[in-house]
């Protein structure tokens, strides 16, 4: 992504998170111009932005701890928001009805992966590949990397081991994450850029989705 490591300190990053919150709010009320109308398009977009803000707030609170295992899992969850936005655009563009999608996803807990366009299932990997194909920004590379911190993988070794001396390796349990401090700024910049990318996706892919019927 552009400006990959623009922010050099945790203080700068926290300030940028506040700017992102204001950008989300400005988009929702000044560009999208959401009203009190209850329809699935409004409900879904508000829910996505709130979910994103919840992840940002959690990231802000965890940032001082240098707990990179959990911080990385939050980035993966933010990628999930990007996947959902793009999937909604693709499904509506393919002829699915926003009301049916909203009802099935919200009330019946239907998974995106159960939907198909033609014979193609809407799997996370397929959707992230389509986003990467259109936008680039190392999205597919990010997805593959951060999945390792949600599913048990080689990343588990990172949290349970550390180098000792020049050639030694120790293994054990600890609540001390200071050894990850040197990686945190790069990690946080990735998260900031992804939060901004989510808004880019929403601006470009959500606007043409029809409002659907009013629910009340």
> 163 lies in a domain?
no
CB distance 79 to 146 below 8 Å: yes
pLDDT digits (tens, 9 = 90+) for 70-117: 999 999 999 999 999 999 999 999 999 999 999 999 999 999 999 999
Among 51-55, 106-110, 158-162, 179-183, which is the least confidently predicted range?
Answer: 158-162
> 122 lies in a domain?
yes
Got the DSSP string for 143-197? HHHHGGGTSSSTTHHHHHEEEETTTEEEE---S--GGGHHHHHHHHHHHHHHHHH
Domain count, the chain: 1
> 166 lies in a domain?
no
> 213 lies in a domain?
no
> 158 lies in a domain?
no
What is the reported pTM? Answer: 0.89
Owning domain of residue 34: 10-150+179-205
* pLDDT score for 108: 95
* pLDDT score for 168: 61
């Amino acid at each position: 992504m552009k400006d990959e490591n623009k922010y050099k300190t945790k203080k700068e990053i926290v300030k940028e998170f506040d700017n992102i919150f204001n950008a989300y709010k400005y988009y929702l009320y000044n560009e999208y111009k959401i009203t009190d109308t209850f329809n699935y398009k409004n409900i879904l977009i508000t829910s996505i932005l709130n979910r994103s803000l919840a992840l940002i707030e959690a990231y802000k609170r965890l940032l001082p701890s240098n707990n990179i295992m959990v911080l990385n899992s939050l980035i993966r969850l933010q990628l999930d928001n990007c996947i959902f936005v793009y999937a909604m655009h693709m499904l509506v563009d393919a002829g699915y009805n926003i009301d049916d999608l909203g009802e099935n996803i919200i009330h019946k807990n239907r998974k995106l992966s159960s939907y198909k366009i033609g014979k193609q299932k809407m799997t996370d990997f397929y959707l992230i590949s389509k986003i990467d194909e259109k936008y680039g920004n190392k999205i597919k590379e990010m997805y593959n990397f951060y999945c390792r911190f949600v599913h048990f993988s080689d990343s588990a070794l990172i949290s349970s081991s550390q180098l000792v001396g020049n050639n030694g390796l120790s293994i054990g349990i600890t609540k001390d994450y200071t050894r990850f401090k040197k990686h945190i700024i790069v990690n946080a910049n990735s998260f900031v850029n992804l939060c901004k990318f989510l808004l880019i996706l929403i601006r470009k892919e959500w606007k043409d989705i029809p409002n659907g019927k009013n629910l009340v």
